[in-house]
A and B are shown apart, each in its own frame.
Chain A
Amino acid sequence: MNHVNPKWEFLGLTFNPSNILMLAVTCLVVFLIAFISTRNMKLKPTGMQNFMEWVMDFVKGIIKSNMDWKTGGRFHLLALTLIMFIFVANMLGLPFAIAYDHVLWWKSPTADPTITMTLAVMVLVLTHYYGVKMAGVKNYFLGFTKPLAFMTPLKIIEEFANTLTLGLRLYGNIYAGEILIGLLAGLATASVGGFLGAILPAMAWQGFSIFIGTIQAFIFVMLSMVYMSHKVQTDH
């Protein structure tokens, strides 16, 4: 349990090679899923193509519940990438964690606040970008005075609060899940009795973590699209 993160310094930047590794693995898995399922596509879909189309329709549904498709269509790829990336990232830490010489190498990349906050800041920056681009500079700034002018400070705070909650919610959920799985694994390896005692809770918690990981991926994308719709829509 007493793990530390590996650390590299390169070009004056601080890297956590475990994060890099897990990001690469996540991207690879997501890409393979997407790539394999879109080979040999037919108008009448079969097998994996069905799954991929279902995912795309699901993401489309998320976007459509926040804004009309004409506005939201351009965020489809972003939302699709986000949900697949976060879901796979959440799942990666579930089956095992690999530590070498007390250095934690294999984990969920989303169990690191740097990564989740990066994603959250990226999404929020994009909302502001599209807010200015699609609603216009005037409407973008006017948006801060709605519904009432005196709420402007609150609206500004809200932007930072949104960013923080979006990133830290994901981080907290996944990190907590990994800690508990680690504790249960520690208990299981401590003794025979501990192993017997840990089987059931470990299985239950892993199942629950799958659920949490799925829900968190969904929530992240849903909230991203909610924030996005607040910025890009002027009439509501």
Chain B
Amino acid sequence: MNPFAIPLCTDIEMKHHQTEAGPPASLVSEGSETIVSLDQFVLAASAGDGFLDKLNTGDILATLFFFTLLMLLLKKFAWGPLMGIMDQRAELIASEIEEAEKSRSESAKLLEEQRALLKEARTEAQAIVENAKQQGDAQRAEIMETARAEAARLKENAAAEIANEKDKAIQAVREEFVSMSILAAEKVLGKEVSEEDNRALIEETIQKAGEGR
């Protein structure tokens, strides 16, 4: 208490002098009460309780009481719940941000995955097309080759047949000719020419005649 009393005293004493000079009435009434007490305190410091008697000790206690009460009430009814809800909100925001960050990275990952898949599918499709084209080309070449070979074979066959037929025809004609020649010679010679004896001879002749042509 004492440390406060000294500056307070000088302060109030100054006021005291001012009041004598005649300041507003309210100051006098306000101050005079205190001044008396402080004067008393200064003059009769040993008396002690004079100062405390005049000091509004009740007000001091009441102020402390009311302030503490208000603080407790605020804590119970306003500050506590409000802090709770503000913390809750901060938590919510933090978790939301985290969630958003997570889903963002997840979607980025998914996008990357999808992109890779798409790329893969595209290359695959290209490969399939390429493959099909190649296969088609190969098949076409094969078919053409087969066709060409078939045609050649057919031609060859035909040629062989033709040659065969020709040979056959020639043979037939030759035989016919031999028979007719023998018949003619028989008629001309008037005797039977032994077919067995002369056939070789005639055939030789015809052979020669054929070569001669």
A and B held together in a complex: yes
Q: Measuring CB to CB, which residues of chain A are less than 8 angstroms from any residue of chain B?
A: 1-5, 8, 10, 13-16, 19-20, 23-24, 26-27, 30-31, 34-35, 37-38, 41-43, 49, 52-53, 56, 76-78, 80-81, 84-85, 109, 112, 114-115, 117-119, 121-122, 160, 163-164, 179, 182-183
Enumerate chain B residues within 8 angstroms of A23, measured Cβ to Cβ: 62-63, 66
B29 touching A2 by the CB < 8 A rule? yes
A118 touching B78 by the CB < 8 A rule? no
B78 touching A182 by the CB < 8 A rule? no
Name A41's contact: one of B53, B61, B82 (CB within 8 Å).
B82
How far apart are B40's CB and chain A's nearest CB, in angstroms?
14
Q: Judge if B89 is at the interface, Cβ distance under 8 Å.
A: yes
Q: Measuring CB to CB, which residues of chain B are less than 8 angstroms from any residue of chain A?
A: 3-4, 7-8, 24-27, 29-30, 33, 53-64, 66-67, 69-71, 73-75, 77-79, 81-83, 85-86, 88-89, 92
Distance of A97 Cα from B27 Cα, bound (Å): 16
Distance of A5 Cα from B27 Cα, bound (Å): 12
Distance of A3 Cα from B67 Cα, bound (Å): 26
Name A38's contact: one of B7, B61, B77 (CB within 8 Å).
B77
16 other A-B residue contacts (CB within 8 Å) besides A13-B61, A38-B81, A114-B63? A1-B24, A2-B26, A3-B29, A13-B58, A14-B55, A19-B56, A27-B73, A34-B77, A43-B88, A53-B82, A80-B79, A115-B63, A118-B60, A122-B67, A164-B4, A182-B26
Chain B residue nearest in CB terms to A84: B74
Name A78's contact: one of B58, B71, B73 (CB within 8 Å).
B71
A38 touching B82 by the CB < 8 A rule? yes
Enumerate chain B residues within 8 angstroms of A30, measured Cβ to Cβ: 70, 74
Chain B residue nearest in CB terms to A57: B86
A-B contact count (CB 8 A): 129
Could you list some 24 contacts between A and B, CB below 8 A? A3-B26, A4-B29, A16-B56, A16-B58, A19-B59, A27-B67, A27-B69, A30-B70, A31-B77, A41-B85, A43-B89, A49-B82, A76-B83, A77-B71, A80-B79, A81-B71, A114-B59, A114-B60, A117-B4, A118-B60, A118-B63, A164-B8, A179-B24, A183-B24
Enumerate chain A residues within 8 angstroms of B92, measured Cβ to Cβ: 43
Name B56's contact: one of A15, A122, A164, A183 (CB within 8 Å).
A15
Q: 8 closest pairs, A vs B, by CB?
A: A15-B58, A34-B78, A13-B58, A118-B63, A23-B66, A81-B71, A27-B70, A114-B56
Enumerate chain A residues within 8 angstroms of B82, measured Cβ to Cβ: 38, 41, 49, 52-53, 56
A122 touching B64 by the CB < 8 A rule? yes
Enumerate chain B residues within 8 angstroms of A20, measured Cβ to Cβ: 58-59, 62
Enumerate chain B residues within 8 angstroms of A183, measured Cβ to Cβ: 24
Chain B residue nearest in CB terms to A44: B89
Enumerate chain B residues within 8 angstroms of A38, measured Cβ to Cβ: 77-78, 81-82
B74 touching A13 by the CB < 8 A rule? no
Enumerate chain A residues within 8 angstroms of B53, measured Cβ to Cβ: 14
Distance of A26 Cα from B73 Cα, bound (Å): 13
Name B64's contact: one of A43, A53, A118, A163 (CB within 8 Å).
A118
Enumerate chain A residues within 8 angstroms of B74, measured Cβ to Cβ: 30-31, 34, 77, 80-81, 84
How far apart are A37's CB and chain B's nearest CB, in angstroms?
7
Name B86's contact: one of A19, A56, A77, A182 (CB within 8 Å).
A56
The answer to whether residues A16 and B59 also contact, given A24-B66, A85-B67, A85-B70 and a CB cut-off of 8 A, is yes
How far apart are A6's CB and chain B's nearest CB, in angstroms?
11
Chain A residue nearest in CB terms to B57: A13
B79 touching A14 by the CB < 8 A rule? no
Enumerate chain A residues within 8 angstroms of B81, measured Cβ to Cβ: 38, 41
Name B59's contact: one of A24, A52, A81, A115 (CB within 8 Å).
A115
Chain A residue nearest in CB terms to B62: A20
How far apart are A152's CB and chain B's nearest CB, in angstroms?
15
How far apart are B176's CB and chain A's nearest CB, in angstroms?
122
Chain B residue nearest in CB terms to A111: B30
